[in-house]
Structure 1
Amino acid sequence: MNLRLIKAADAILGRVATVLLPAPVVGCYGTSIRSVLFIRPGGIGDAVLLIPAILSFRNKYPKARITVLAEKRNGAVFTLCSVIDEILLYDNNGELFMALRGSYDAVIDTEQWHRLSAVVARMTWAQILIGFGTNVRSRLFTHQLDYEQSDYEETSFLRLLTSLGIAVTQTSVPFLTVPTPAASVAEVLLGELADRTFVVIFPGASIPERRWGADKFRQVAKRLSAKGVSGVVVGGEDDRGEGERIVADTGWLNLMGETSLQETTAIIERSSLLVSGDSGILHIAVGLGIPTVSLFGPGREKKWAPRGDNHIVINKHLPCSPCTTFGYTPKCPINARCMAEISVDEVEQAVLTLLDRKNFDKHQQKP
């Protein structure tokens, strides 16, 4: 089932089902949870930022079986979390049926707005049903929580666990684990770079409004290369030509279209920092504890931008931005000026600042 079909089904079937299904009975439940289902449709970024909540759940319930119901486009993210027992795919009919047939003490629907995931949660008939009460979907849960657009998304997911008596606590990094086979492939692909300082650029984005442009990334790569900084460009096969433009005359490595998500993660783990727009790959770097330079425009900085001194967020804060709400970004009438006004100088300087800071910290740690 493709993304467009899922959204269409949600708009029609989701609305009807949320009204027709009986609301769950809210009662007193025991504190013992032997199995849980986390539902996470959507993209890579949401999936990455859910993992701290899954780890927090595991700390509270070390013997509980954890199942995640994801999508094909984000399912691989959960292979980066070693405490998950089973990963099923929301858009695979057979695996969705397996999830519905499962026996769970609690189901946690982490979708923020769409209704079908709430319907799926209710159809498991689990006694404890937790989710965001952002619309009529709230009637299908035993525990509904508010969803705040100004909360960091990782925090929003952690708040869902308060219904189970789990406090919201700061997550330590790294919280992602790179599988050994992926690390081995990354080492081969990187070659001589594997043991050197290098920068990773991810120029992709889920929508055109979040793209900064290959020409600007190319200028950054050329300037860094002139200063002796090596680099790698990662991304999907569709953007391979863009990757070639970025690395031209730089000596950098273009690995676009040559790596799985796990292998891309392994490459980022070996790097000194990542440069990216508002993307799922950005959150992977955060989950690995890798410094980032991120470019924000349409997206909500308060909700999605990395936190901490090792991350530099560049955002022009135009009056019309952010314009994205619940994952929807309207077509921009001014050609994404919020991204276009970010300069090559700003990005280059941010990269050099983080590299200098990283080198300083490394020297400080020496005996």
Structure 2
Amino acid sequence: MRCLVIRMSSLGDVSLATAVLEPLREHFPSIDVIWLTRPPYGALLRDDPRISEVISWDRRRLFPTALLRVEGFDLVLDLHRIPRTWLISALLPARRRLGYPKARRHRKALVRGRTDQPVLHTVERYLEALAPLGVRAWGTPRVFVSGEAWERAETLLAGVSRPFVAVAPGARWPTKRWTSEGFARVIEELRARGIGAVLVGDERDRDFAGEVRTSCKVPSLVGRTDLPTLAGVLSMASVLLGNDSGPVHLANAVGTPAVAIFGPTHPKLGFAPLKGRALTVDLPCSPCSLHGERPCPRGDRVCIRGITTEDVLEALKELIP
């Protein structure tokens, strides 16, 4: 059986989508899985023995032509479901095409205050896509760390005290970030308790990570790791502390618990860490956006500023061995 899995982005979604692989392989032992994604995430999937081939598609190209050399698919599993992936699925010769329930209306109703019922976790909705195949087993997100990535991570962590907490202070939208002062105070308190810390993130997080470092001395790997090496770093951490962002789900996928701070978004939207704690201030206006892209309607960001250093330290204490 030849199956194409489509999940183009982003870091958290790609990490969570790997949950479908184990149930698929258990149900179809001889399945041949090809995964279509964007270039940054292809490197994260290439060491997964459950995937036969990873095709990285640059969106500037009209169509992922590498798929044309494949002689048809028994199944196209679209775990992204945007117009571009619909078109790819429709153009490829396939016996069956399935997609996952995005719960758009439910999520929008939460944002607009029309319901307070949580959306099924994203992993559960990915797995629901397999139900028409008779696959009803639970699957856990898993990202494999290669020996080379592990060695690179070990080298970068040479000066970091153990045990340590990986701290990912960034997020795509500034409104989703906890305060730089809060992160700094937590890092200083961890150090006083004999626990190390290291900042992680990509190039876009450099400025905010710099703000954190103005208030405390902490080693930083922000902008210094590719995704496989970041996975290696997170696999060695005792806990990941971050906002509602991709590193939380990557940490879980390599077996590390996470403390995730939610502000304008909310765990009810389906992205709480599967292993760890989600911290949120339950306000009548929360969530106020699907992804955290809108400015705070109150103007004071109390949803994120209301989470205290003590709240974060208590959550970390529960998870650090």
Q: TM-score range by the shorter chain?
A: 0.7 to 0.9
Supply the distance in 1 between the matched residues of 2:259 and 2:80 (Cα, whole angstroms).
27
Match of 1:212 among 158, 169, 178: 178
Q: Which residue of 2 aligns with 1:314?
A: 279
Cα drift, residue 279 of structure 1: 0.8
Once residues 214 and 101 of structure 2 are traced to their aligned partners in structure 1, the CA distance between those partners, rounded to angstroms, is 49
Give the match for residue 351 of structure 1. Answer: 316
Q: 2:21 aligns with which of 54, 58, 63?
A: 54
Name the counterpart of 1:281.
247
SS of equivalent to 2:80: coil
Q: Is the 8 A contact 1:294 1:312 kept in 2?
A: yes
Matches of 2:4 and 2:287 in 1, distance apart?
A: 32
Q: Name whichever of 69-78 and 261-270 sits farther off.
A: 69-78
Q: Does 1:272 align with 2:238?
A: yes
Q: Are residue 340 (structure 1) and residue 309 (structure 2) matched? A: no
8 Å contact kept, 2:101–2:128: no
Superimposed CA distance per residue, residues 234-285 of structure 1 (whole angstroms, 9 cap, x where no aligned partner): 1112333433443457553211111111111101111111101111110011
Equivalent residue, structure 2, for 1:89: 56
- Partner SS state of residue 312, structure 1: strand
Instruction: Name the CA shift for 1:77/1:241 in 2 (closer, same or farther; >3 Å).
Output: same
CA RMSD of aligned residues (A): 2.4
Q: Offset at 1:95?
A: 6.7
Amino acid at match of 1:333: P
Q: 1:73 and 1:331, CA in 2 relative to 1: closer, same or farther beyond 3 A?
A: farther
Q: Where does residue 161 of structure 1 map in the other structure?
A: 130
- The answer to whether structure 1 residue 189 and structure 2 residue 126 are counterparts is no
Contact 1:201 1:234 survives alignment (8 Å): yes
Q: 1:315, CA displacement in angstroms?
A: 0.5
Q: Following superposition of structure 1 onto structure 2, how do residues 64-143 of structure 1 map, counting pairs within 5 Å?
A: 64-79=31-46, 81-90=48-57, 91=59, 93=61, 96-100=64-68, 102=70, 103-112=72-81, 114-132=82-100
**In structure 1, distance between residues paired with 2:267 and 2:194:** 31
SS of alignment partner, residue 304 of structure 1? coil
Give the fraction of aligned pairs with identical amino acids, expressed as a percent.
Answer: 28
> Structure 1: where are the runs of 5+ without partners?
1-33, 136-147, 359-367
Tell whether the 8 Å contact from 2:22 to 2:139 is kept in structure 1 after alignment.
no
8 Å CA contact retained: 1:38, 1:69: yes
Aligned to 2:6: 39
Aligned equivalents of 1:131, 1:100: Cα separation in 2:
21
Task: Give the aligned partner of residue 330 of structure 1.
Answer: 294
> Are the equivalent residues in 2 in contact too, given 1:100–1:120 (CA < 8 A)?
no
Q: Give per-residue Cα distances to partners, 1:146-191, cap 9 Å, x unaligned.
A: xx971111111111111212113253x7x22101111001111111
- Structure 1 or 2, whichever has the larger Rg, is 1
**8 A Cα contact 1:43 1:73, kept in partner:** no
**How many angstroms apart in 2 are the aligned matches of 1:270 and 1:59?**
29
Task: Supply the distance in 1 between the matched residues of 2:282 and 2:202 (Cα, whole angstroms).
Answer: 29
Task: Tell me how far apart the structure 1 counterparts of residues 8 and 298 of structure 2 sit (CA, whole Å).
Answer: 31
SS of 1:239's partner is: helix
**Residues 1:315 and 1:181: Cα distance change in structure 2 (over 3 Å):** same
Aligned to 1:151: 120
Structure 1 residue 291: Cα displacement: 1.7
More helix by percentage: 1
Aligned: 1:223 with 2:189: yes
Indicate if the aligned counterparts of 2:12 and 2:250 stay in contact, CA closer than 8 A: yes
Q: Which residue, 193, 205, 212 being the options, matches 1:246?
A: 212
* TM-score between both structures, scaled by the size of structure 1: 0.76
State whether residues 221 and 246 of structure 1, in contact with CA within 8 Å, keep that contact through their aligned partners in structure 2: no
The total of aligned residue pairs comes to 304
> Taking structure 2 as the reference length, what is the TM-score of the superposition?
0.86
Which of structures 1 and 2 has the larger relative contact order (alpha carbons within 8 angstroms, sep 6+)? 2
